[in-house]
Amino acid sequence: MRKLTQFATAIIVLVAGAIFTTGAHAAENAKPHRIAIQVDQNDPALMNLVLNNVSNLTEYYNSKGEDVQIEVVAYGPGLNMLREDRSPVKDRIKSIKQSSFPSTVNFSACGNTKKGMEKAEGHPVQIIPEASVVPAGVVRLSERQEQGWSYIRP
């Protein structure tokens, strides 16, 4: 009876170890999740939809133990999403940036659009600190797609 108990315990330990190792191995070898999201409209409802998508993506993959890289690229009228003086969602962006770990969420502002707005308005346009300026939003999206990123246009 004692040998049977020891044998059963050994089997349980081996099976548990195999399951744990397989799960860890699968998470390590999971395909990277990289998603680029376009914002090209000055529409608070669209901006909030994009941020809902970002939150849903990070929550989903984090719950599976997988990382996701997300880049929101704003250009044209959509640049208002990332303007310090006009963004209706800058508090949500700050919150998302702070809470996305271990995933990565970046916000990119189109440099061409920024220059055009500055010329039209006659003063510098400040971008929120959670965002960075890229030379051209459409080029950034194109490069991300070429690098294998999924592309979403809500």
Q: Which one-letter amino acid corresponds to residue 141?
A: L
Half-sphere exposure of 77 (CA within 13 A, CB side): 6
Confidence of residue 3 (pLDDT cuts 50, 70, 90): low
Give the model confidence (pLDDT) of 88-108 as tens digits: 999 999 999 999 888 899 999
The pLDDT of residue 26 is above 90: no
**31-152 in CATH: which number?**
3.40.1260.10
- Residue 128 phi/psi, 5° resolution? -60, 150
* Mean pLDDT, residues 137-147 taken together: 97
- Is residue 10's pLDDT more than 60? no
pLDDT tens for 29-80 read 567 899 999 999 999 999 999 999 999 999 999 999 999 999 999 999 999 9
Sheet holding 131-134, edge to edge: 131-134, 104-110, 68-74, 33-39, 150-152
Look at residue 7 in the predicted model and tell me its pLDDT.
47
Residue 8, pLDDT above cutoff 50: no
One-letter amino acid of 102: P
Tokens of 42: 């000055």
This prediction's pTM? 0.81
